[in-house]
Structure formats: structure tokens, C-alpha cells
Amino acid sequence: MRRGAGLPALCLALVATVLTACSGDDGDDTVRLRVIAGPDLAVLAPLLGELKDETGVDLRLDHRPDAETKTPDRDRYDLAWLSSDSYLRLTHKNAIRGLQRTSTMTSPVVIGLKPDVARKLRAQVPGSRLTWADIADAAAAGTVRFGMADPRHAGSGLAALVGVATAAAGTGAALRPEDVSCDRLRGFRSGQTLTADTGPALVDSYVDHQDEANALITYESDLLALNATDRLDDRLDVVRPEDGMVLADFPLLLLNPAHRTAFDKVTRWLRRDSVQQKIMQHTLRRPVNTTVTRDARLREPVGNALFYPDQPAVTETLLADYGDPDRRTTSQVVFLLDFSGSMRGARMAALREAFAGLSGADPSASGKFTRFYRGERLTVVRFGGRVLEEKTVTVTGPKDLTALAGTVARGGYGDATAVWSALDHGYRTAARELVADPDRSVSLVLMTDGENNTGLSHTEFVRRHKALPAAVRAAVHTYPVHFGEADAGELRRAAARTGGRMVDAVGSSLSEAFKEIRGCH
């Protein structure tokens, strides 16, 4: 063969090979696209063959557990198909800015309760309409023990966390950093007994450990699909919280603009009414088209769709506060309570009312999120001119809270106010607790209605605080409650020095002040 004649033939052969590789095998016209997909998309596998036959586009899904939390590799994938891209748009916005996206189906994050628990909780709520606050309250009391995917890895877990935190903030708007500066989720978190890195893995874990949990928090579609199987001892009662839900819209994202035509073919096909009907049948997710007749199980309105945060600091704080769901954490609050003579009468009645509210008597949504919770360690120190009494309990049930209330209810007032001696005592108590359990979270709440008139001076307290081990100073913060005639300036400086903050009860009530301060340890 002459060299000049062979070169064109070789080039044509190479072009044909490349075109075959891009379009399909055996010279067909199929376009094959590489898709990074969340594990929740695996349920669509039966429809992908139909999609290929009718559009000529073959989607090759690579299901990865980190698909919703890591920037998609555009060199490796042509499309991304996720349950939600909210976290990526918030934390990796430059990497996915301007990407074409199309919603393909929807499903809210809801709660599945075993029937006996659902009946008990609904009976306690007017209209039987349960809220995230009711679930948090029941978790704190030990009534609800739930499974939820790890919010650091799974879209359903993070959506649930955002939903609970939004309800706890009580603003009805997207969470702002100041809404989560005080963590109000520890009572809720105390009820978590099962977790997993993905939604499907969580469902499997719940099925295998139904004796360890009586609730499952995940997508509505997961609960309905699970109820349709024979894998459960008891079908779950699906609760759509009255105070709102975060909605997943399962977007398909175009990563490689060269495949815009194929992407458009796929999205048009997915959004056909007939295909939306099939998606609903296969996945029990809600159609994005309002013209599609809903399955009877999907006719319950979604209601208040909660906004996803629009600031990275919000999710960073939420995830840091919630921590590792697999790791059981212990928290302790040391309440230093002024029992000087000026607290007699109405002021003491207000203090006792505040503690009753924290013990579960406050029926408001904020009261349910801030109540004492099962497993929490609580210390009450009554002081006047000296320490009058000290009581510590670990909450296992109502009897422990009754014992604590008894300490607050007793008299024995002092004839002076040793604010800084009491705070120094609190730090010595905290130091001992941290020696016994270095992983424990300890905070101090100082409530006084008067100025220091005996014992240590503020200057001497500061000197002693500086002498504490660095680990104690870094870990233990003071949250003063300013009440009555107390010196607000000194309390504010003490809070700033120890990394806490002061709450002013002068213009509100002690109950509101204690609820606000509860979230700050």
C-alpha cells in the first residue's frame, strides 16, 4: 500500500471508531451518558430501558453515597441526578453555578411512627396534627426512638435536620446564622437510636432493628414503599409535620454542555404525564406535573414547604452542633441559682415556673424544643452568701425531674449574695466532671437578681478563672441570666470572658430567658 493512500483510510477508520464509542456499540445511534447519582435514584432502574428505547439516550448511573455532598466530577460524568442539590448549591455554588437543572419528582421528608406511638402522641395534640416540636418533645421524654440518615452524608438526613431546626427557630423563614447560634436540637437528638450514610441503608437498618426504634425519619416515598412490603412487624403511620417539611425535587443536572440535546430529550421524556405516572408507581414519589392523577397515598397535601438555608454558615453550624449520630454524647448544665432574700415571693415563683416549664410543663413549641431531655445531667446549686444546697441528677424519667424541682422548691434563703463565689464553685464542679468524662459538654447558667455583696470579688473570680486548666476554660462557658437589680455590665463581661453570653430577663420573663439560654450549651 502506498503511504499517501493509506493515511486517509486510517483517519477514516479512527473517526469511525471514535463515533462508535460515543454513540453506541455496533454502530447504533444510542447516546450513552455517564451519570453520578444518589442512592435514592436506584429505584428508577426499571424505567431506564424504556428511556433508552424511546429517546436513544442510555443513562449509565453510578450510585455514590457522597453524590449530594461533593462537587461532581465533570471530567468523569455528563449528568448528575440527585435527590436534592440544595447542599451543593449552598456549599459548592461556584462549581455548579449556571448548570441547567430539571426537577423530575418530589418527596417531602416526613416521620413514620409505629401505630401505638402515633396513637399516643396524636391523642395529646388538638386536632391530632403532630409537629416537629411534638416529635422533639417525645424524643426528649424517651417516648420516640427514631432512625434518621446521617445529615453529614445523606440528603434526607440533612433535610430532616433543617426541618427540625426551622421549626425550632419559629420564624417560618429560611434559617439565619442567629437562628442556630443556640442549639435547640439536643432533646430531639437524644431520641436517635439508628443511623446510616444513605437513605436506602437506613431503611434496611430499621427493618433489621425494629426493636431498637419506633420511628423512622426519611422521605415520604421510602415510608410508603416500606409499608407496601412484608418487611415490617407494624406498618408505619406516616406523619407529615404541621409545622412544615423540606421537599426534595430530585433534579437532573447537565454537567457536560456538549450533551445538551440528549439532556433535553431525557428531561422531556421524564416529564411526560405517562412517564410521571410510571415514576409515581415505581417510586411512590409525587409527580412534578399537576395534571397527573395522584396515587391515593399521595393525596395528603404537603402543606408548608420549608425553605432551605441560603447561607453556608447555617448548615455548618447545624452539622457541627448535631455531630456524629453514631456517637452518643453527654451534656451537663450546672444551674447556679440565687436564693438570697430578695428572691422571696413573686421572683421565686417565677423561677419555679421556669423550671417546671423546662421539665415538660410548657406546652408551647419553644417549650418542647428546650425541655430537659432523657440522658441529660443536671446540677442545681442554690446559693446566697454561700452554697446552700447542691443536687445532681441524670434524667431517666419523671422522678429525676421531680427531685430537681424539689430542690428548687425548697426555701432556705441566704442573707447575702455571693455571685462570684457561686460561679467559682460552678467552675470547680465543671472541672471535676470533665476529669471524670472529658467528652462531656458542660455549661454553667448563672441566675441572680442582685449585685455581689460578699465572698469573692469579680477581680478575684477572674484571677481564679485564669488559673483553671486551659481545657476547662475552653470548654466550659457561662450563660448569665440578668434579673432584678443584678449588675448587667459585670454579668456581660463574665459571659464574654468565658465564651458564653448574657440573656436579659428584665424585659421579659424568667421562663423565656431560661428557654433562650437552654440552647446555648
Q: What would you report as the CA-atom Rg of the chain, rounded to the nearest whole angstrom? A: 29
Mean pLDDT over the full length of the chain: 90
Distance CA 142, CA 63 (A): 36
Mean pLDDT of 34-50: 96
Closest CA to 408 of 449, 351, 342, 480: 351
pLDDT of the residue at 521: 53
Q: Give how far Cα 198 sits from Cα of 43, 111, 188, 421, Å.
A: 14, 16, 20, 50
Report the interhelical angle of 199-208 vs 220-227 (nearest 10°).
Answer: 40
The band of 15, judged by pLDDT with boundaries at 50, 70 and 90, is very low
Backbone angle region of 21, left / alpha / beta, with phi > 0 → left and psi within -120 to 50 → alpha: alpha
Distance CA 420, CA 446 (A): 10
Distance CA 170, CA 179 (A): 9
Burial of 23 (0-12, 13-18, 19+ CB in 10 A): middle
Instruction: Give the strands of the sheet with 101-103, arranged side by side.
Output: 57-63, 31-37, 79-81, 251-254, 101-103
Query: Tell me: the pLDDT tens digits for 143-170?
Result: 999 999 999 999 999 999 999 999 998 8
Mean pLDDT of 187-193: 94
Taking the domains of the chain in order of start, what are their residue ranges? 31-104+249-289, 108-248, 331-518
Distance CA 365, CA 372 (A): 14
pLDDT of the residue at 249: 96
3-state secondary structure of 339: coil
Distance CA 302, CA 108 (A): 7
Compare 503 and 507 and report the one with higher pLDDT.
Answer: 503
Q: For domain 31-104+249-289, is the CATH number 2.40.50.100?
A: no
Lowest average pLDDT, out of 133-142, 227-236, 482-491, 509-518, goes to: 509-518
Lowest average pLDDT, out of 16-25, 234-243, 355-364, 442-451, goes to: 16-25
For 196, half-sphere exposure in the C-beta direction (CA atoms, 13 angstrom radius) is 20
The band of 411, judged by pLDDT with boundaries at 50, 70 and 90, is confident
The band of 28, judged by pLDDT with boundaries at 50, 70 and 90, is low
| C-beta separation of 115 from 102 below 8 A | no
Query: Tell me: the pLDDT tens digits for 356-402?
Result: 999 999 999 999 999 999 999 999 999 999 999 999 999 999 999 99
Mean pLDDT of 264-278: 98
The band of 519, judged by pLDDT with boundaries at 50, 70 and 90, is low
pLDDT of the residue at 200: 95
User: From 3.30.450.30, 3.10.180.10, 3.40.50.410, 3.40.630.30, which CATH number describes the 331-518 domain?
Assistant: 3.40.50.410
H/E element, 275: helix 273-283
Closest CA to 235 of 212, 214, 208: 214
User: Which CATH homologous superfamily contains domain 108-248?
Assistant: Periplasmic binding protein-like II (3.40.190.10)
Query: Tell me: the pLDDT tens digits for 59-76?
Result: 999 999 999 999 999 999
Query: Tell me: the pLDDT tens digits for 78-97?
Result: 999 999 999 998 888 887 88
Fold match between domain 108-248 and domain 331-518: no
Distance CA 479, CA 503 (A): 7
pLDDT of the residue at 517: 83
pLDDT of the residue at 8: 43
- DSSP 8-state assignment for residue 437: -
